[in-house]
Structure 1
Amino acid sequence: MKLIIRDAKIIDSKSPFHNKTVDILIVDGFIQIIGTSIPNLEQLEELKLDNLHVSQGWFDSSVSLGEPGYEDRETISNGLQVAAKSGFTAIALQPNSFPIIDNQSQVNFVKNKATGFATQLYPIGALTKESAGKDMAELYDMQKAGAIAFGDYNKSLSNANLLKIALQYVQDFDGLTIAFSQDENIKGNGVANEGIVSTRLGLKGIPNLAEELQIARNLFLLEYTGGKLHIPTVSTKKSVELIKEAKKNGLKVSCSVAVHHLVLTDEKLEEFDTRYKVSPPLRTETDRIALLKGLTEGTIDMITSDHNPIDIEHKKMEFDGAKSGTIGLESAFGALMTVLPLEIVIEKLTAGKETFGIEIQTINEGSSANLTLFNPEIESIFTKSSILSKSKNSAFLGIPIKGKVYGILNQQKLILA
């Protein structure tokens, strides 16, 4: 592939070309020249788009697809195309398929299915067999096969000793343990954030305490064992404070926040629309503001779409019985641009690579061409026609968004939305 990208403003704080509008010559997957008015002597393909901005390729640390087992929700093939057209050059695949990705052969299966796509897929192996929370899965074998971390998607480990052993065990190969944090006993039959809205609507509540108590426990375990712990999709003000204190004390803890927790609150539940049923639940405006502050001050390391396709049979039903989850790849950038400055959005959509051990490609001459292409200014409403996923369970339908993703350039492939 030989391509000249014209008049692109580079957004990459680690690049010497940060905030400069330049031309980029790409040859065989590498950035050969960055400069102004690069001559096109060989009649190469040129790409010129309105208000084009270019950043390092984005990485999403939590994506569910479905395959194997739930292909009606999403396939790996279509899911990777959705990710590419949404600006993501890499995704971490959650293990919540059927069967669960809890062994070497399952890791190999999803990796083989993802061969040849512009968006790279990095499997997360289940921490426990069948994500049942009883016996530790084959972590070392999965790591050898290519798993980048280990966790049970949206399942909290009630057995503290098992998490302790896992944190100790993975240190032998510098592994990363993921601990979704929600005390199931305190959550009980809760389906929405415990507060004024849930009380008014008569919905069983999930108090902030369910998350915070589990995070506190997991941080105590990390302090005891050492190693690295990632806490996904934090959702409360106190959770941010706990993690901030742990980092100050030198613990190797990272965390993410989901786009929907940065943009939406439990006020959205007024019409009992199950598109807004997510785990952890949408919280209050106080929590939302605290999450945004946690991002800007550096306590929260990365943003995830927490993309989770759910078929209509498990979503279009009464609120109590519906499955939790929203798709989020297609709407991630546009939704974030309504609440955060551009540079922070880009930083937090790329920072997860370092935590998950994925090579970082700064935009510079000689670097691999791993790029996301976008326009940060276009304003629109997110509609059903914007959804590329097989499942349509988006919490962002009808929401104003800002910015447009043009596509990605990665693996010597240019994918345009």
Structure 2
Amino acid sequence: MKRTTPLLLLGLVVLVVVQAQTEDEPAAGEDEQAEPVELFTTPATKMAAATSDFGYNLFRALASQQDGANVFLAPIGVSAVLTQLALGASERAQRQLFRALRYHTLQDPQLHNTLRDLLTSVKTGNKGLSTASRIYLARRLRLKQEFFTAVEQQYGIRPKALQGGSRDTKDINDWVASETGNKVQRLLAKPLPKNPGVNAVAGAYFKGKWVTAFAPQSLQNFQQEGKAPVRVPMMQQENYPIKMGVDSDLSCTIAQILLQNQVSMFVFLPQEVTSNLTALEETLTAEFVQDLGSTLHATHVTLTMPVLKFSYAADLLTLLPDLGLTDWLADQDLEKIAAQPAKLVTVNHKVVMEMAADGDQSAPATSATSHLTYHMDRPFLFLIRDDASGALLLIGRVINPKDLTI
């Protein structure tokens, strides 16, 4: 659902404070900002919006299921593996999957080609993202080779028949590690279920590079709702160029921080210390985030943020009913995969992210330090977005950075 009125309020507080600072010259880093991408006008941007909206829906379901915890997703890799699965479904079952994946509005006869090209574009150009998405199938299903061929022709990745036993776990983990530069290790922490079925695997690694570097990290307090603060590694830099605004309806301050190669981090920081971020989570759509790029205001701040270095893994199968797939799960009709009924039994996802303090350039030197601060010292939401296409690459909720580990 599009939110128009609150967007008119974004940035008004910041604009009043920094008008004298910004009216004469642009903030450092503005030149690197890509031109706003036109959503909903080309097959590529329509696909990026669809995969993003699927990602926001999936994130909401996961966040609701794991209330009060750190949660993270790299949704485009999950979109990829479920779209591979759709090639094995009947026409009815494919329509159901496509609706959950937000493809039903695209009207794109070359949908698979468009998704393949989008995946290629976000994994190249030094954007920092690598993904590994693949279907694994129980051999006893009497598999149809036509499905293997169709997926390989469209996505260059051939589904694989399982051998059975612990060697399958090792094979899957080794393949995901290889596809992600050995960064996503042990995607499967335990063997797959023994019941014969279809297993979707989606691993992702992201290491972004800031346009503007931070000073070396130091230990600082991170506030928790109803608990004592925790000491966590923080990065900080004065006179840091960002775009920022205030959303009074959501009671949060929103910042856009530039990464290299036309990638941005958007941060949603509540004004109060709270672990209940549901209102923020429910607001996110591809269109809303797209509008932020032209609504936030360029300024300089003293920017402080936790060091984001983590891995997160989950089986997403139980989230599918929240995406409207209850009936589909009861009757998956994957008739093009096997000669007998085949059933999706796992959707294993793991994401690893690392963000260092270094960047392409230093913060601008000036005799007057900005009085504005953006201090991410309490629970917040963030997302990583490819500005060139509008695609959501990664999204997360940080409740306690001390719990983040790789």
TM range (shorter): under 0.3
**TM-score, normalised with respect to structure 2:** 0.27
Bigger fraction of residues in strand: 2
**TM-score, normalised with respect to structure 1:** 0.27
Determine which structure has greater relative contact order: mean sequence separation of CA pairs < 8 Å that are 6+ residues apart, divided by chain length. 2
